[in-house]
Structure 1
Amino acid sequence: MRLSGLLPLQALWAALSLTAQHFPSWGHYDLCKAQLHWDQAMSWDYMACQPEAALLTRSLKVSLDPSDSTCGETPEMYCTLENPYMCNNECDAHMPELAHPPELMLDDEGRIPNTFWQSVSWRSFPEPLLINITLSWGKTIELTEDIVITFESGRPEQMVLEKSLDHGRTWQPYQFYAADCLTSFGMEPRSARDLSPASVLDIICTEEYSRGYVWKVDKMVRFEIQERFALFGGPGLQDMASLYGQLDTTKDLRDFFTLTDLRVRLLRPATGATSVDQHNHSKYFYAISNLDIRGRCKCNLHANNCIWEKGKLSCECEHNTTGPDCGRCKKGFQGRAWRAGSYLPIPKGTANVCDPTWSSLRNCECHPDGSLHHRCNDTGYCDCKEGATGPKCDRCLPGYNWHRGCRAGVCDNFLTRCENGGVCEDNGRCVCPAPYTGLLCEKGQCGEEVGGCVSQSPRDPTLHRVLLSLTALLTAANGRPPL
């Protein structure tokens, strides 16, 4: 950004924007921000810290119970429900092109030919064909969009979606699915569209994804996240401020969309429009081609990034927090009790930074270049050299910049340029041509108070002093002048 040619007021506004850019403690939001670019300036947009929402199936592990419920250990031909004599779907786990392992639920949708996991057939009818599919992240996540399960077989006539908040030790239902909710689960059928703000956390049974036999057209089973969000965010989630306000102040609502594991309990496969054919069980099975689960790592609003490293998801914690979910203060930063970050005030949020403890101030070491001694004094602070400041003497006072310690800095070739032909040397001092003197070569040799010499500086003196003050603040904040 160039300041030349701007009116004094514009230059001052641009300088203030630069201050917002470089100052390291601009409110609580310095670590969670995005750049906004204007015609003649740049500013920062601050917001609560949270990772971007993303497809979560790329970072999960899938397991089956029973473990031998995938087809193909004994090669088998499968038939279709619509035509029991059309049996050209062969499953053979020993041949890659004919195998249907669980990981094919997680590969890219849209491949031709389509890929899918397939279960064993219902050979032991009338004993129930029960299979649990468990999806584990090893990390707490927050759902942001509908869960969508795409079946290549008919959609199950009975199914339960469950979640765990403790890595699979305990489970609770999310939603029941049945062709007949009353007979299957003793529940009246309901739809997500029937929910209200007061009943948003209700566990319902829906017949919407199980009744009828149109499996070639309707392959998807949904758990509607967006319908519930819309109860607070309005149609199309236009009012995100209202939704964030509810999530911030209602712990049960926030926890409803939080989990570590999902479990799909398949209780009865699709049987078609007629009764079960007891002489041909090879047309009754489960097959899933895609799982679409979108959300973000739960970082308690203390991280802007979540990374996949060494087979694990983890938050890149800020605000002096640590742990898989940034759920505690770092050692030496328990100056106040840990708290999750907040969406409020919307849209900036409040970071609730962990403060350093007194003992940490007395013990974390003094900076060797900024401090007179290696250890802090009896007050818990270090004895700083000239120009240095901070508990560890690792920052500079206004008018100084960091270069193996703090040294006086009065020019930077940007905001505070040397005047009257002076040259800024090492961003530290102005080398002035005769007959000029002063920090910025702004004085004649005989000084401003004597009438014999007059500065040739074209700068507005009031604006110049404002910019000089801003530069001193930036230098103190960063240990160097702004670029």
Structure 2
Amino acid sequence: MFLLQTVCVCVCVSVSVCVSMQHYPAAWGHYDVCKSQIYTEEGVTWDYMACQPEATDMTKFLSVSLDPPNITCGDPPETYCALENPYMCNNECDATTEELAHPPELMFDFEGRNPTTFWQSTSWKKFPKPLEVNVTLSWNKTIELTDDIILTFESGRPEQMLLEKSLDYGKTWTPYQFYATDCLDAFNMDPKTVNELTQRTLLDIICTEDYSRGYVWKYDKTVRFEIKDRFALFAGPRLHNMASLYGQLDTTRNLRDFFTVTDLRIRLLKPATGSTIVDENNLSRYFYAISDIKVQGRCKCNLHSNSCVYDKEKGRLGCECEHNTTGPDCGRCKRHYHGRQWSVGSYLPIPKGTANICIHSSHGPVNRANASSLGVANRNQARVCDGAMLRCQNGGTCHHHQRCHCAPGFTGVLCERARCQGPGHCEEYPSSGQESVHHPLLLHRLHLFLQVCHGLLALLLPQGVMVFSFC
């Protein structure tokens, strides 16, 4: 079997055509790498591709602020009662004693200790004036959310709450989702759940009642903003088809921006009361307490970097840019690399994507449409080939950067598809810049290669047992 593998690899390299034996998780693509070595007739070269950092716990890199700033309990010390039992009043908050203090950083510390650590607000001692708190999470960096936002409340979950996002470092805010025990009464909105959303209504702002009712039972402490359920509208219920989602993110800017933030703001508008009437004789029952906040995401690097580094001196994250790009988000070309207008990397074609490298000024200027928009751009006006990074394939030639003149038997914007010839079904395979597998000579070599594989398998395996479907 080792001999068979060696022969197959040697034949594969000799004809410059490979049927890939290595299976990557196609759902997530190749976006954690930026280049790979490929074999061509000219020798070994680099094939550049789109890339992005791995997702991680983003709460390790945020700063938190509260409004009003003096809303944290403990100054002066205060005793609290349990929401479900107004006569159980043995919880003390004292900012001057470490064991009794509840500062905001305890929303992000390691959970699992006993007793649980949490941030806590002052009680509703100024009732009927609303007890409202803004908890703002700031990254000083654009990030992309990859999993549900989860808030865990140590007290009862708020009866009214709003989650907001900012894309401009807190200058402006837009709602993400409303939460209430009664959406119509609190926000004049009909209640909905994320399961009622469709691909067409994914960007709708909804109010949900799922996370605002009841006392604090064992499984009743969390409030979610469901990211994965929204992903599933394109990628399927188990996110098995992330290629479909990536294709949508690549071509729909509003969808991409929906999952992108620089800041999040949790607006706590009304604490849990456990009933419709507030007990004015025991207002120490009513307060907010958050034990944990989870935000999973990655740095936004415009598909031009596979790593993001936290600079402790500057207190901010920054992309380690590839593809001759620079800036916190790799949002511009480096000096002397303006031979083509900067463009975000592309998820397409799946799974490797397109790097859209900034090229040296001596090679330009060249203006072209983003590779991800070739399918929708006006192909009579867009510059779709440059002869350097976006080459016409399968022997085609670039004509005035306007179109590819394709060799006989090929068609497409970049001559990437085999033209149907004669009756019958014609398969189309996207080319990756190497010679097409539709070329007659290469097909003949590939046929010989498969025959060799069959012969070796017949010798090495028991008769009738053919388990290698790639031959």
Q: Give the alignment's TM-score, normalised by structure 2.
A: 0.69
Distance 2:147 2:78 in 1: 37
Deviation for aligned residue 1:44: 10
CA gap 1:29/1:109 in 2 versus in 1, 3 angstroms: closer
Deviation for aligned residue 1:209: 0.4
Q: Give the secondary structure class of the aligned counterpart of 1:232.
A: helix
2:338 counterpart of 1:350: no
Aligned to 1:101: 103
Equivalence map 1:279-294=2 (5 Å): 279-294=281-296
Deviation for aligned residue 1:93: 0.3
Distance 2:34 2:228 in 1: 26
Paired AA for residue 155 in structure 2: S
Aligned to 1:302: 304
Distance 1:263 1:89 in 2: 28
Equivalence map 1:81-92=2 (5 Å): 81-92=83-94
Q: Give the secondary structure class of the aligned counterpart of 2:306.
A: strand
Distance 2:201 2:148 in 1: 18
**In structure 2, which of residues 319, 326, 329 is the aligned counterpart of residue 325 of structure 1?**
329
Deviation for aligned residue 1:273: 2.7
2:318 counterpart of 1:314: yes
Distance 1:59 1:221 in 2: 22
Q: Deviations over 1:149-182 (max 9, x none)?
A: 0000100000000000000000000000001101
Aligned to 1:116: 118
- 8 A contact 1:333–1:360 mirrored in 2: no
Q: Percent identity?
A: 67
Q: Give the secondary structure class of the aligned counterpart of 1:229.
A: helix
Deviation for aligned residue 1:332: 1.0
Aligned to 1:73: 75
CA gap 1:6/1:302 in 2 versus in 1, 3 angstroms: closer
Distance 2:6 2:154 in 1: 65
2:34 counterpart of 1:32: yes
Q: Give the secondary structure class of the aligned counterpart of 1:237.
A: coil
- When the two structures are aligned, how many residues end up with a matched partner? 344
Paired AA for residue 113 in structure 1: P
Q: Give the secondary structure class of the aligned counterpart of 1:104.
A: helix
Deviation for aligned residue 1:11: 3.5
Distance 2:189 2:276 in 1: 24
Aligned to 1:262: 264
Deviation for aligned residue 1:348: 0.6
**Bigger Rg, structure 1 or 2:** 1
Distance 2:93 2:278 in 1: 22
**Consecutive unaligned residues in structure 2, runs of 5 or more:** 19-29, 38-44, 366-471
- 8 A contact 2:124–2:287 mirrored in 1: yes
Q: Deviations over 1:53-95 (max 9, x none)?
A: 1111000000000100000010011110111010111100000
Distance 2:215 2:61 in 1: 34
Aligned to 2:196: 194
Equivalence map 1:176-191=2 (5 Å): 176-191=178-193
Q: Deviations over 1:381-437 (max 9, x none)?
A: xxxxxxxxxxxxxxxxxxxxxxxxxxxxxxxxxxxxxxxxxxxxxxxxxxxxxxxxx
- 8 A contact 1:161–1:174 mirrored in 2: yes
Which structure ranks higher in relative contact order (CA pairs < 8 Å, sequence separation ≥ 6)?
A: 2
Distance 1:70 1:315 in 2: 35
**Consecutive unaligned residues in structure 1, runs of 5 or more:** 20-27, 36-42, 362-483
Deviation for aligned residue 1:217: 3.4
Aligned to 1:428: none
Deviation for aligned residue 1:312: 1.4
**In structure 2, which of residues 338, 359, 383 is the aligned counterpart of residue 334 of structure 1?**
338
Name whichever of 81-90 and 133-142 sits farther off. Answer: 81-90
Distance 1:199 1:29 in 2: 28
Distance 1:129 1:73 in 2: 17
CA gap 1:30/1:270 in 2 versus in 1, 3 angstroms: closer
Distance 1:228 1:29 in 2: 21
Distance 1:142 1:151 in 2: 24
